[in-house]
Chains A and B, each alone.
Chain A
Amino acid sequence: MLQCCSGCHLYRYPPSPICNSCLSPDHQWVPASGKGTLFSFVVVHRALDPYWQGEVPYAVAVVELAEGPHLISNLVGIDFDQIQIGMALRVVFEALSDEIKVPRFRVRQT
């Protein structure tokens, strides 16, 4: 789901109380395509947060969503040396708990 402005129909992320283009507070949560492309990435080798200590190395990505916004996430299911900026991605949801699911991204076959 993504926030979409009811005034000017711009998608936005991160979630915000108003549209930063037309300043309207009116918005709808609409289903997103889940598709995007890789804008940039980093492979983290040293965990800077103790929670992630057991996860290194892992890939952080900036994904350019098909709807427009950029989103920080992770790349999963790929060898790090295969990662290329511009590659097509699709979302996968991983459950952190019964209530929280986190969007991460996999390579999308085009």
Chain B
Amino acid sequence: MRSQFAIVGIGETPVGKLPDRTALSLRLEASVAAMRDAGIDKREIDGVITTQMRSHPQPNYSALLSERLGITPNYVTDISLGGAAAASMVVNAAATIASGLCSTVLCVSGDSRSSARARSQSRRRLVSDAEDLRNLFGAGAAPIQYALAARRHMHEYGTSSRQFGAVAVACRRHAGMNPTAQMRQPITIEDHQNSPLIADPFRLLDCSLISDGAAALIVTRADRTGDCRQPPVYLMGTGYSCEHSEIASSRSMTTTAARGAARQAFETAGVVPSDVDVAELYDCFTAVVVVTLEDYGFCQKGEGGFFVEGGRIELGGDLPVNTHGGLLSHAHIGGISHLTESVIQLRHQAGLRQVKDARLAVASGQCGELGIHVTLLLGNSPN
């Protein structure tokens, strides 16, 4: 697996509130941008993978995109898995290429959740049976589920709301250096503490954004990257883990599927956490970053709250996290921006927010309320 596959192109649309744009137009714009970035013709794309949309789920979306791009790939599939879907696309692309079904895969994600909400289309969104059952207790919404896990972490390890706030502050600082980010005004821990309670212990500034936007990336075999416009970013290791589908079913709530996924990824890549230069970690809520850092082995279980304090996860710190601003401050378009940002960092194209000499990045996606996790290790050299 190590270094056999590479990301050779990325494409990103603007993000934020884009009421005049449909999800289809955003996904197509990102797709075309990724092909241009890679410098490859559309006829070279023989696989298309998309994520299932949350706001307006539709069947066979990968086929629709292919049709509108005017291509007839050998392989198409749509991936559910919420916030794990984007990273899962890359793993699926590598596995499908390895199987011989295709050689160059376009992976596309994005949605118009912000505008769909404004248009009151939320009734058409994807809802699980479990959410229906939890609605009897006013417990259907995601912030409540993740807050249950955060509360348990506070109980077991003394983690504080101010420590969760440090994650929000770091993401916002990085967003301030990213011209494309949705929320760029700096915030302090005090701003976090003064933001309204949503689902105690979570305050408004613990919660991610709701955004419109799309992004795409192109995965191919490492030995086919020679003609591409941009330097390849190699897939050094991948990990995948499924432990539960809803948080109440977790016996622990504080050790998550991230642990198994990361262990697998670090083993296949033959590297250790201290080798990582930059971490782009799925951050639907601040506490998820704290738990992921622990489960990845950047610190001991229970020490995540202390780890994120004092600027350690900010640019210039030991481990810059979410250098684009994350779901908390850049935009929430499903987590694919954590992957495009990893590529940008490893190409050294991140401008003000560039992590100096970044060579190895780790990116995560997760869903199922900490139960489903995908880890990618990406590097700018095959060795």
Give the interface of A toward B (CB within 8 A): 14, 39-49, 51-52, 55, 57-58, 60, 62, 70-74, 80, 85, 96, 102, 104
Contacts and interface: CB of A to CB of B under 8 A. Distances in A.
B137 A74 contact: yes
A28 B133 CA distance: 21
Nearest to B204: A46
A58 B253 CA distance: 21
Interface in B178-229: 196-202
B297 interface: no
A42 B199 contact: yes
Given A72-B248, A85-B155, 4 more contacts: A40-B148, A42-B199, A45-B198, A102-B137
B138 A43 contact: no
A85 B151 contact: yes
Contacts of A14: 130, 133
Contacts of B147: 42
Chain B interface residue bracket vs A: 20 to 34
A71 B248 contact: yes
B165 interface: no
Contact of B144 (A44, A71, A102): A44
A85 B152 contact: yes
A73 B378 CA distance: 42
A15 to B, nearest CB: 9
A42 B137 contact: no
Contacts of A41: 148, 151
Interface in B114-148: 130, 133-141, 143-144, 147-148
B196 A47 contact: no
B182 to A, nearest CB: 20
Contact of B148 (A49, A51, A62): A62
Nearest to A86: B155
B140 A49 contact: yes
Contacts of A72: 133-134, 137, 139, 248
Nearest to A100: B136
Given A42-B147, A42-B148, A45-B197, A102 B136 contact: yes
